[in-house]
């Protein structure tokens, strides 16, 4: 690891942008309760609905809170992805 790479690694306390995909429909009115994440839904070929939430979390504790809320809502979590690097935003 070079000195240049040291500052780019994700830490528990660093902000990052995440994309979370869940099975089922989640209304956009839940955005505020879920850390202000953008909420979009789509229907798959088999007519099932998938919701994607994308947003900046201040740290992984906030991310955990969002994931716990989704769990409590009985929405199966399909994926969680750090998209900070993909979108050009350093996490």
pLDDT digit string, tens, across residues 21-61: 999 999 999 999 999 999 999 999 999 999 999 999 999 99
Distance CA 3, CA 31 (A): 38
The domain ranges of the chain are 19-82
Report residue 22: phi and psi, to 5°: -125, 155
The 10s digit of each residue's pLDDT in 3-26 is 444 556 788 999 999 999 999 999
Q: Which CATH architecture has domain 19-82?
A: 2-Layer Sandwich (3.30)
Entry pTM: 0.82
Residues 6+ apart with CB under 8 A from 18: 53, 54, 55, 56, 57, 63, 80, 81, 82, 83
Residues 6+ apart with CB under 8 A from 6: none
Residue 91's pLDDT is 43
């Amino acid at each position: 690891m070079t000195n240049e790479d040291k500052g780019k690694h994700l830490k528990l306390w660093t902000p990052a942008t995440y994309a979370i995909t869940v099975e089922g429909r989640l209304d956009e009115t839940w955005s505020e309760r879920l850390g202000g994440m953008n909420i979009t839904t789509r229907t798959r070929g088999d007519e099932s609905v998938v919701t994607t939430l994308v947003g900046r979390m201040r740290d992984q504790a906030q991310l955990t809170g969002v994931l716990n809320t989704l769990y409590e809502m009985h929405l199966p979590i399909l994926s969680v992805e750090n998209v900070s690097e993909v979108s050009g935003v350093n996490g």
